[in-house]
Amino acid sequence: MSTYIAILKYTLCKAKNIRGRIDGVNPMLGAFFGAWGILWESESRRVEIALFIMTRFFETVWNYLKHRGYVKPIWSGEVITSNLLH
């Protein structure tokens, strides 16, 4: 996991400096190159990392769809789910 984060942050920094701007492309580049860091992890850790990243992926897709108006959020839906988890 530390390899993934290190490559991700390094790529974010380099992309910002090379491209000269901060936009949505930089995190995509960082995630793409950071994903290669999983190759250095043991197989048992790969599953754990994939589960961590999968939840972030679904949250990102949901926020994108909500921002574009394709889905309508449930009133206090975030509060309901966070109360169920604790």
Burial of 31-55, coded b for 16+ CB within 10 Å and e otherwise, reads bebbeebbeebeeeeeeebeeebee
Residue-wise pLDDT for 20-68, tens only, equals 988 888 888 888 888 888 888 888 888 888 888 888 888 888 888 888 9
Task: Judge whether 62 lies within some domain.
Answer: no
Task: Judge whether 69 lies within some domain.
Answer: no
How far from each other are the two terminal CA atoms of the chain, in whole angstroms? Answer: 25
pTM above 0.75, yes or no: no
Domains in the chain, number: 1
- Domain residue limits at 15: 1-41
How many C-beta atoms surround the C-beta of residue 4 within 10 A?
A: 20
Task: Judge whether 22 lies within some domain.
Answer: yes
CB neighbour list of residue 16: distance below 8 Å, 6 or more residues apart: 22, 26
The first and second tokens of residue 18, run together, are 């090379």
Task: Judge whether 35 lies within some domain.
Answer: yes
The pLDDT assigned to 17 comes to 92
